[in-house]
Amino acid sequence: MTHKNILFSLLFLSLNSWAQVSYIDYPSPFHPTIGSSGMVVSQNQASSDIGLEILNMGGNAIDAAVAVGFSLATTLPRAGNLGGGGFMLVYLSDEQKTIAVDFRSAAPKNLSNNDFLFLRDNYDQRRYGYKASGVPGTVAGLLQTHDRYGKLPLKKILQPVIKQASKGILVSYDLNQAIGSADQINLDKESKNIYYQDGSPAKEHFLMKRPYLAWTFREIAKDGEEAFYTGSIAKKIVKAMKQNGGYINAKDLKDYKPRFAEPIQTTYRNHKVLAHPPPAGGAAVLLEGLNILENFSTDELTPNSANFLHLFAEALQRGHMDRSRFMGDPEFYDVPIEKIISKERAKSLAEGINYNKATPSDALNPNSLFQEGENTTHYSIIDIDGNVVSNTYTLGYSFGSGVTIPGTGILLDNQMNNFAYQYGNPEVIDRSASIGNRFEPGKRPMSTMTPIIVFDENNALKLITGSPGGALIPAAVLRVVTGIIDFNLNLGEATMLPRLHKDWPYKSLRLERGFSEDTLKILQSYGHELEESKTMGSTQSILISSRGKEGFADLRRPNAGVAIQID
């Protein structure tokens, strides 16, 4: 080989090597799934796949949302549900209109003052068992939204859901562990029969068939929401309530109605952020937090820098302060939501933030507004036409009250635990004494569920996201939003930023693992009391970017997944 040929060969090998390196090295280890058509992102891959199946049938995002919501009752029973409630945002592309759907569980209406005193004084009774459950809203919320905005017949949508429940699912490691950690399952015979084998939680890889749940799906496919609220399913619910001392009666079920309303919104650095109105208190925390942060420049900061994290924590703390006192069901309390999420309120609160000193919780007073249960699940869906659903719903605790209505497979929520039973106690200042969320029959309790939709400066759809996590939800969603808007991260990077949470009136700043020791020391020097936390939330998100539609299922909880339509 000549000298010239050797040089050419070396140059070829070098260029080829460089090309391979540039091909296999990515800017980030977190890779969104990219598509150009419909997309479903949920906390269980099998349920995402069912949503995709509906889109491939010609269904729209609303059709897919019904199927995913029902499917998760099989695949993710600790949070997916028919016996709970939630909040949903629906964006209709043709009309460029967003609708908020409140299908939050409601307190039964027939409760007396003695019942209130019983619940106030018996903590476990409002957490576990038949007395713990509010009137479920999930079925009415999903089906009435489908009646208004869906395309496909309900029977067609529910066929794959019925098939999934009948054939069963293989118990995952996560489901096995969740069953083992939900003590209330042991208190209910029907639940124990479903989720236990030979006295132990159903083992990993066990085929868990759900024939009673399949029956429930068939009844709903046949008779719609009437089956659940007045028909065959309602009769089973009422019978079980009577036999077990529960509060829900036939009239409570018959009278339940979801509420359709306009979203609340703010702008953040020229982006429009839409969220659910009260009783969605988490939405108020998120919007107020964004408004406060907008008073500070982040151009010279990084998402994990101590300076930004300090501002983030201070904004969060103030948002939680306002929702702790003045958030509740707007049909029972005049929620000052416009004031809470106003730019004026945010500016006033931002002026009290010191750049290098944490604000003690007792230095913040929610009354200044007038002086100037982590087991939820979220899914995001977009169809080929740009219609969107951002839905968060819950049973309250993991597996809710632990109660399964015999013959139906339906787990019930424990939302009676979410009212402010300490209202009127002058020694209590936290949200257990909230005037807005005090207990009243028929009322819907405040919730931190925070489904959102974000539009860019040109009013084009940009982000769909939400999270489970109870009080941690606003922080998880805020972290994703600021990661994308302030720091131009891709969806995977923004999702996997280590998270932090600062509540009010609590002292500790909770942080996931992943922050540098130097950062933690700086935060401590500012006066923050640090507390290491387990993972926070599980955002399921879709971002519309220059690359198309990016979907990312949070890695914090296993088995989540993205399903995309292939053109």
547 alpha carbon, distance to own chain's centre: 26
Distance, CA of 177 to CA of 2 (rounded, Å): 67
Q: How confident is the model at residue 567 (pLDDT cuts 50, 70, 90)?
A: confident
pLDDT at 202 over 90: yes
Lowest mean pLDDT among 116-130, 210-224, 364-378, 398-412: 364-378
Would you state the pLDDT for residue 477?
98
Mean pLDDT of 42-60: 98
Nearest to 149 by CA among 93, 82, 92: 92
Give just the sign of the alpha carbon dihedral 51, 53, 59, 63: negative
Phi and psi dihedrals of 104, rounded to 5?
-65, 145
- Residues with Cβ within 8 Å of 2's Cβ and at least 6 positions away in sequence, in order, are none
> Is pLDDT larger for residue 251 or for residue 375?
251
Would you state the pLDDT for residue 26?
77
The number of beta carbons lying within 10 Å of the beta carbon of residue 206 is 15
- Residues with Cβ within 8 Å of 60's Cβ and at least 6 positions away in sequence, in order, are 149, 150, 151, 383, 385, 387
Q: Which tens digits make up the pLDDT trace of 144-180?
A: 999 999 999 999 999 999 999 999 999 999 999 999 9
Distance, CA of 485 to CA of 462 (rounded, Å): 10
The number of beta carbons lying within 10 Å of the beta carbon of residue 249 is 17
pLDDT at 423 over 60: yes
Domain positions in the chain are 57-87+104-259+397-433, 261-375+458-537
Percent of the chain with pLDDT over 90: 85
Phi and psi dihedrals of 32, rounded to 5?
-65, 155
Would you state the pLDDT for residue 531?
96
Secondary structure of residue 80 in the 3-state scheme: coil
Distance, CA of 259 to CA of 140 (rounded, Å): 10
Distance, CA of 436 to CA of 422 (rounded, Å): 12
81 alpha carbon, distance to own chain's centre: 13
Would you state the pLDDT for residue 458?
95
Q: How far is CA 185 from CA 123, 138, 199, 204, in A?
A: 17, 21, 12, 18
Distance, CA of 271 to CA of 264 (rounded, Å): 14
Q: How confident is the model at residue 116 (pLDDT cuts 50, 70, 90)?
A: confident
Amino acid code (one letter) for 169 = I
Would you state the pLDDT for residue 452?
98
Average pLDDT over all residues of the chain: 93
Structure tokens at 559: 């088995």
Structure tokens at 89: 């945002």
Would you state the pLDDT for residue 8?
46
Q: How far is CA 148 from CA 62, 71, 143, 277, in A?
A: 9, 21, 9, 20
Mean pLDDT of 97-103: 98
376 assigned to active site: yes
125 alpha carbon, distance to own chain's centre: 25
Nearest to 206 by CA among 179, 170, 164: 170
Amino acid code (one letter) for 39 = M
What are the CB-based long-range contacts (under 8 Å, 24+) for 118-124? 119/416, 119/421, 119/439, 120/421, 120/422, 120/439
- Residues with Cβ within 8 Å of 141's Cβ and at least 6 positions away in sequence, in order, are 85, 86, 88, 101, 102, 103, 258, 393
Nearest to 130 by CA among 213, 194, 188: 188
Distance, CA of 87 to CA of 284 (rounded, Å): 14
Q: What is the phi-psi region of residue 182: left when phi exceeds 0, alpha when psi lies from -120 to 50, beta otherwise?
A: beta
Distance, CA of 99 to CA of 453 (rounded, Å): 11
Would you state the pLDDT for residue 326?
87
- Residues with Cβ within 8 Å of 325's Cβ and at least 6 positions away in sequence, in order, are 366, 367, 369, 431, 434, 435, 436
What CATH architecture is 261-375+458-537? Orthogonal Bundle (1.10)
Q: Which tens digits make up the pLDDT trace of 327-374?
A: 999 999 999 999 999 999 999 999 999 999 999 888 887 665 544 466
Contact predicate 296/318, CB 8 Å: no
- The overall pTM is greater than 0.75: yes
Mean pLDDT of 115-125: 89
Contact predicate 280/449, CB 8 Å: yes
pLDDT at 82 over 70: yes
Mean pLDDT of 209-218: 98
pLDDT at 185 over 70: yes
Q: Where do we find the tokens 């066929």?
A: 159
Phi and psi dihedrals of 531, rounded to 5?
-135, 120
Phi and psi dihedrals of 378, rounded to 5?
-130, 145
Catalytic residue among 33, 138, 376, 482: 376
Mean pLDDT of 511-529: 96
Would you state the pLDDT for residue 368?
59
Q: Which tens digits make up the pLDDT trace of 463-501?
A: 999 999 999 999 999 999 999 999 999 999 999 999 999
Mean pLDDT of 187-211: 96
Structure tokens at 470: 């109870």
Q: How confident is the model at residue 314 (pLDDT cuts 50, 70, 90)?
A: very high
Lowest mean pLDDT among 4-8, 410-414, 509-513: 4-8
